[in-house]
């Protein structure tokens, strides 16, 4: 798979804009783990370059009984520690995140301050010497029945200050929300959200100052379609997701460029395959993922397989094998 296609795969991200200033949480269930997981050791091996089971490094994760992550260690292929992160938290709220490691990771501490409603109102970042390098504050400027105004201010070590203001209003009759954001007094985004009777967004479009936009619509069958346009590259990225939110198709189109990716998932939502096509829908690349599970339904072995598409029949080659050992409460 070439770098351009891989970049396209990674570009299939969901656009989100902070509205309520929520706390940040990471649960074991959010990454597909079942049961009361305590620790997870994952080792990754490459089967390329003629060297079977060549280590690509490992991770060791620790979760509390409620599924919130407490620690994560990342190790280099030689077994030495690469980076270690500790989360100090109150349930879903992360109060402090301390990271120590070697390049490209930095030794950094991030502290969050919450209000009585659980919103993050301040985030402070410190370097390895405990010196404050960045501060971000969030506040309500004005709260009315049908509209709210938010402000976030970020200041850096050199005194640079960026101020974002967001004005959000909702029409009680139509349920349409209009959100306008400015950065340092200049237009940044203009976002219109249309909701159904259940309050779930059915259609929305966010337009950026340079003319780029992101438009999404939820269909009656629960699937959704999305059109992301980049004004700088004049490129459209079309995305389709299933009712569970899994991306099933991505198409990138420009004047002289067209690439299509399709994705498959198992009944639990785990990715099982990817196929890349050119403009004539000829298969360029194909990969699949196979799992072996423990009695709790968590995978203990995962194999990423690429297929030699020009050959008849296509030949499979394992390129990455991941092994996972889990302890439960």
Give me the pLDDT at residue 28, please.
Answer: 79
Q: Where are the extended beta strands (E) located within 49-91?
A: 54-63, 69-75, 81-90
Residues 167, 131 within the same domain = yes
Query: How far apart are the C-alpha atoms of 229 and 30, rounded to whole Å?
Result: 29
**CA dist list (Å): 135 to 23, 152, 182, 193:** 16, 10, 19, 30
Q: Find out whether 182 and 189 touch, Cβ atoms under 8 Å.
A: no
Query: How far apart are the C-alpha atoms of 152 and 24, rounded to whole Å?
Result: 16
Q: With respect to residue 136, please indicate whether it lies within any of the assigned structural domains.
A: yes
Residues 113, 203 within the same domain = yes
* 17: nearest Cα among 155, 225, 217, 207: 207
Question: pTM, whole model, 2 decimals?
Answer: 0.81
Give me the pLDDT at residue 229, please.
Answer: 97
Q: Which residue has the tokens 């105004």?
A: 149
Query: How far apart are the C-alpha atoms of 12 and 312, rounded to whole Å?
Result: 31
Q: Which domain holds residue 224?
A: 211-248
Give me the pLDDT at residue 98, please.
Answer: 98
Residues 127, 170 within the same domain = yes
Domain boundary among 248, 272, 298: 248
Buried b (16+ CB within 10 A) or exposed e, 89-98: beeebbeebb
Q: Which residue has the tokens 């999404």?
A: 216
Q: With respect to residue 183, please indicate whether it lies within any of the assigned structural domains.
A: yes
Domain boundary among 209, 234, 260: 209
Tens of each residue's pLDDT in the chain, 329 residues = 443 333 333 233 222 333 333 333 456 777 789 999 999 999 999 987 656 789 999 999 999 999 999 999 999 999 999 999 999 999 899 999 999 999 899 999 999 999 998 999 999 999 999 999 999 999 988 777 788 999 999 998 777 799 999 999 999 888 899 999 999 999 999 999 999 888 889 999 999 999 999 999 999 999 999 999 999 999 999 999 999 999 999 999 988 789 999 999 999 999 999 999 998 989 999 999 999 999 999 999 999 999 998 888 889 999 999 999 999 99
Q: Who contacts 295 (Cβ-Cβ below 8 Å, separation ≥6)?
A: none
Tally Cβ neighbours within 10 Å of residue 80: 9
Query: How far apart are the C-alpha atoms of 269 and 107, rounded to whole Å?
Result: 35
Residues 149, 174 within the same domain = yes
Number of domains in the chain: 2
The alpha-carbon radius of gyration of the chain (Å, integer) is 23
Query: How far apart are the C-alpha atoms of 278 and 306, rounded to whole Å?
Result: 17
Query: How far apart are the C-alpha atoms of 223 and 271, rounded to whole Å?
Result: 17
In 3-state terms, what secondary structure has residue 72? strand
In 3-state terms, what secondary structure has residue 49? coil
Domain boundary among 209, 235, 270: 209
**Tokens for 138?**
């969030």
């Amino acid at each position: 798979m070439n770098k351009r296609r891989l970049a396209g795969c990674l570009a299939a991200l969901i656009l989100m804009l902070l509205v309520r200033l929520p706390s940040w949480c990471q649960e074991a269930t959010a990454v597909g783990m079942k049961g009361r997981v305590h620790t997870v050791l994952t080792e990754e091996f490459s089967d390329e370059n003629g060297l079977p089971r060549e280590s690509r490094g490992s991770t060791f994760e620790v979760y509390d009984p409620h599924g919130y992550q407490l620690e994560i260690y990342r190790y280099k292929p030689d077994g030495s520690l690469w980076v270690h992160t500790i989360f100090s938290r109150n349930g879903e709220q992360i109060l402090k995140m301390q990271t120590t490691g070697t390049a490209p990771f930095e030794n950094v501490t991030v502290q969050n301050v919450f209000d009585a409603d659980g919103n993050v109102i301040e985030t402070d970042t410190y370097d390895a010497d405990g010196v404050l390098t960045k501060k971000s504050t969030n506040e309500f400027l004005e709260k009315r029945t049908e509209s709210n105004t938010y402000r976030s201010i970020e200041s850096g070590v050199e005194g640079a200050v960026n101020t974002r203001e967001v004005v959000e209003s909702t029409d009680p009759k139509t349920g349409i929300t209009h959100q306008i954001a400015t950065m340092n007094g200049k237009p940044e985004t203009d976002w219109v959200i249309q909701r159904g009777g259940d309050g779930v967004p059915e259609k929305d479009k966010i337009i950026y100052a340079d003319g780029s936009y992101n438009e999404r619509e939820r269909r009656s069958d629960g699937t959704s379609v999305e059109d992301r346009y980049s004004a700088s590259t004049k490129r459209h990225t079309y995305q389709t997701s299933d009712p569970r939110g899994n991306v099933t198709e991505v198409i990138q189109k420009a004047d002289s460029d067209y690439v299509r990716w399709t994705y498959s998932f198992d009944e639990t939502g785990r990715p099982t395959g990817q196929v890349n096509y050119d403009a004539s829908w000829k298969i360029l690349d194909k990969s699949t993922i196979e799992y072996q599970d423990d009695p709790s339904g968590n995978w203990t072995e995962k194999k990423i397989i690429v297929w030699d598409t020009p050959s008849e029949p296509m030949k499979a080659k394992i390129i990455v094998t991941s092994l996972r050992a889990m302890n439960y409460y």
